[in-house]
Amino acid sequence: MKAAVLYNYNEDLLIEDVPIGDPGDREVLVRIIATGVCHSDLSALKGKSRPPLPIILGHEAAGIVEKTGSAVSKVRKGDHVILSWAPNCGECFYCQKRLPTMCDTYGAAAGNGTLWNGARRLGTVERPIHHFTCLSSFAELAVVPESGCSKIEKDIPFEVAALVGCAVTTGFGAVVNDARVEPGEVVGVIGVGGVGINAIHAAHLAGAKAVAAIDINPEKETVARSFGATHFFNSATRDVPAEIRALSRGRGADSVIDCTGRPAAIALAYDTARPGGSVISVGIAAKGEMVCFQASTLPNTQKRIIGSNYGGGMPEHDFERILALYRAGRFDLDRQIGERVALDEINDAFRWLEQGVLARTLVCFEQ
Ligand SMILES: [Zn+2]
Ligand SMILES: [Zn+2]
């Protein structure tokens, strides 16, 4: 199959022919139709998250089931599927605790660049290629765990389904599952990017009275408002906590969602939340970075700081909810699709992402 392989950090991906093995018992071979280029791919390419090399990146994808392993019952050949980058074993401590995205089994596999049980289906024995988040969708085909496949209706466009596989669910779930935004609330969203747009949109749909988009790039205001932001504050030039207090009878935001992962932004979220309000930390900081806030204020204000992974950690459930809202014409996913490119143009997609182009570039394959 044709695949985009990363051999060295900070270099272009190489498009080449890569052997792919048959799916194991509880694995599925999926023909990728659409796959988005996301910030986590960029962090891997830049060496920030330091995945093992060589590796095939890509973790926001949808496709068609081509072949199933002997013990697979969840999907069958011809099914259309969204692929999850956090498959789970269903049996470990965290799976039993209903925290499937914390699954020990797949956490270890993703760290080692393999599938479950250390299996590898990419490359050859002499020249193995690593899997990325048990997915590796920058390729014509992918072998993934059965639990990472979610069947969808065939009328859902693959580009839409791909986006739901990462950025959309991450932003939507942060609002719905972690912030639990209620009608009439005041919500802040820091970082108007692929995830932030979905947090803004979800907060608007949840009936928030005010949705304040916060970013250092004033050019993001128009798009933020088009997805439901009622206010836009440039945190480089405005006193955001004071602005939000002015919107909330002096109290502060009911919840603030940080999608940037910048320590200063997380501290800003903390200062902006009202007493008893919550800070939802979604964006991922570079390793080793620390956040500072005045410790005595934490018990006194009863603020809550909540880490949010894959939108609260039950992605498969959220895929269904988001697609139901999309089908009802309430959640706008079509407008989030940017350029469609072929696999050999993927390095351009990374450059656009780095330049801050907001609409998602999707690598698309012939159906
Ligand atoms: Zn992603
Ligand atoms: Zn598990």
**201 and 103 belong to one structural domain:** no
Q: Looking at the structure, do residues 142 and 174 belong to the same domain, yes or no?
A: no
Rounded to the nearest angstrom, the distance between the alpha carbon of 115 and the centre of ligand 2 is 13
Same domain? For 293 and 340 the reply is no
Asked whether residue 162 is domain-assigned, the answer is no
- The per-residue pLDDT for 225 is 98
Give the CB-side neighbour count of residue 185, counting CA atoms within 13 A. Answer: 26
Last residue of a domain, one of 307, 324, 349: 307
9 assigned to some structural domain: yes
In sequence order, which residues have a C-beta less than 8 Å from that of residue 81 and are 6 or more positions away?
28, 30, 62, 63, 64, 65, 75, 149, 150, 151, 152, 161
Task: Please state which of the ranges 17-21, 283-287, 297-301 shows the lowest mean pLDDT.
Answer: 283-287
242, part of any domain: yes
Residue 103's pLDDT is: 95
Taking the C-alpha atoms of residue 168 and residue 366, their distance in angstroms, rounded to an integer, is: 24
Query: Partners of 187 in the beta sheet?
Result: 211, 255
Residue 191 lies in a domain: yes
Q: Kindly state whether residue 328 falls inside one of the protein's structural domains.
A: no
Q: Which of 11, 22, 24 is nearest to 53 (CA)?
A: 11
pLDDT-wise least confident of 116-120, 141-145, 303-307: 116-120
Shared domain check, 88 and 55: yes
Q: Express each pLDDT in 205-232 by its tens digit.
A: 999 999 999 999 999 999 999 999 999 9
**For 101-116, what is the mean pLDDT?**
93
Evaluate whether residue 325 is within a structural domain. Answer: no
Q: Are residues 95 and 120 in the same domain?
A: yes
CATH number at residue 281: 3.40.50.720
CB 228 within 8 A of CB 331: no
* Domain final position from 292, 307, 322: 307
- Which pLDDT does position 69 carry in this prediction? 97
Bridge pairing between strands 55-56 and 14-17: unpaired
DSSP-assigned letter for residue 291: -
* Percent of the chain residues topping a pLDDT of 90: 94
| Residue 268 within any structural domain of the chain | yes
Q: Does some domain include residue 226?
A: yes
- And the tokens for 327? 């089908």
In the structure encoding, which two tokens stand for residue 317, read together? 């459930």
Average pLDDT of the segment spanning 112-119: 92
137 and 45 within one domain: yes
Ligand nearest the Cα of residue 87 is 2
Average pLDDT (105-113) is 94
In the reported structure, the alpha carbon of residue 298 is separated from the centroid of ligand 1 by a whole-number distance in angstroms of 31
Ligand at minimal distance from the CA of 94 is: 2
Residues 6+ apart with CB under 8 A from 260: 190, 191, 193, 283
For residue 254, the SS3 value is strand
pLDDT band at 316 (very low <50, low <70, confident <90, very high): very high
Ligand of minimum distance to the alpha carbon of 101: 2
CA of 102 to the centre of ligand 2 (A): 7
Per cent of the chain over pLDDT 70 is: 100
Residue 95's pLDDT is what? 94
Distance, CA 287 to ligand 1 centroid (Å)? Answer: 18
Query: How much distance in Å is there from the Cα of 322 to the middle of ligand 2?
Result: 24
- Please report which confidence band the pLDDT of residue 366 belongs to, taking 50, 70 and 90 as the band edges: confident
Mean pLDDT of the chain: 96
* Final residue in a domain of this structure, among 290, 307, 324: 307
Bond before 183 cis per omega within 30 degrees: no
- For residue 246, report the distance from its CA to the centre of ligand 1, in Å: 34
State the distance from the centre of ligand 2 to the C-alpha of 321, rounded, in angstroms: 23
Q: Cα(117) to centroid of ligand 1, in Å?
A: 24
Say whether both 75 and 184 belong to one domain: no
Q: Do 47 and 119 fall within a single domain?
A: yes
Instruction: Kindly tell me if the per-residue pLDDT of 353 is higher than 80.
Output: yes
Ligand in closest contact with the CA of 100: 2
Does residue 313 have a pLDDT over 90? no
The alpha carbon of 98 and the centre of ligand 2 are apart by a number of angstroms equal to 9
Q: How far is CA 247 from CA 223, 274, 356, in A?
A: 21, 12, 29
Q: Is residue 102 predicted with pLDDT exceeding 90? A: yes
Looking at the DSSP assignment, which residues form a beta bridge with residue 211? 187
Mean pLDDT of 43-72: 96
Greatest CA separation for the chain: 66
Into how many domains does the chain fold? 2
Q: How far is the CA of 126 from the centre of ligand 1 (A)?
A: 30
Q: Is 11 exposed, middle or buried (0-12, 13-18, 19+ CB in 10 A)?
A: exposed
CA distance from start to end of the chain: 15
Q: What is the CATH number of the domain that holds 357?
A: 3.90.180.10
Written as six digits, the tokens of 97 are 């605790």
Tell me the CA–centroid distance for residue 195 and ligand 1, in Å: 9
Given a contact cutoff of 8 angstroms between Cβ atoms, the answer to whether 318 and 295 are in contact is: no
**What is the domain range of residue 203?**
167-307
Ligand (nearest to CA of 282): 1
Residue 287 has pLDDT above 90, yes or no: no
Q: Is 282 helix (H, G, I), strand (E, B) or coil?
A: coil
Class of residue 112 by CB neighbours under 10 A (exposed 0-12, middle 13-18, buried 19+): middle
| CA atoms of 291 and 162, how far apart (whole Å) | 33
Nearest ligand (C-alpha, residue 83)? 1
pLDDT of 262? 95
Q: Which ligand is nearest to the CA of 283?
A: 1
Counting ligands in written order, the one closest to the CA of 39 is 1
- Contact criterion met (CB below 8 Å) for 188 and 257: yes
d(CA 143, CA 194): 26
Q: Does the pLDDT value for residue 258 go beyond 80?
A: yes
139 and 6 assigned to the same domain? yes
Mean pLDDT across the stretch 8-26? 97
Can you state the percent helix, strand and coil of the chain, rounding each to 5? 35, 25, 40
Per-residue tokens: 311:
């939108």
Is the domain of 118 the same as that of 189?
Answer: no
Q: What does the pLDDT read at residue 358?
A: 79
Label each residue of 62-124 as H, E or C: EEEEEEECCCCCCCCCCCEEEECCCCCCCCCHHHHCCCHHHCHHHHHHHHHCCCHHHCCCEEC
At 117-135, the pLDDT tens digits run 899 999 998 999 999 999 9
Co-location of 180 and 272 in the same domain: yes
Q: What is the mean pLDDT of residues 19-31?
A: 97
CB under 5 Å of ion ligand 2: residues: 88-89, 92, 95, 103, 105
Residues 6 or more apart whose CB falls under 8 angstroms from that of 308 comprise 170, 173, 174, 177, 178, 257, 280, 281, 282
- pLDDT of 367 > 80? The answer is no
Residues 147 and 173 in one domain: no
**Tens of pLDDT along 58-101?**
999 999 999 999 999 999 999 999 999 999 999 999 999 999 99
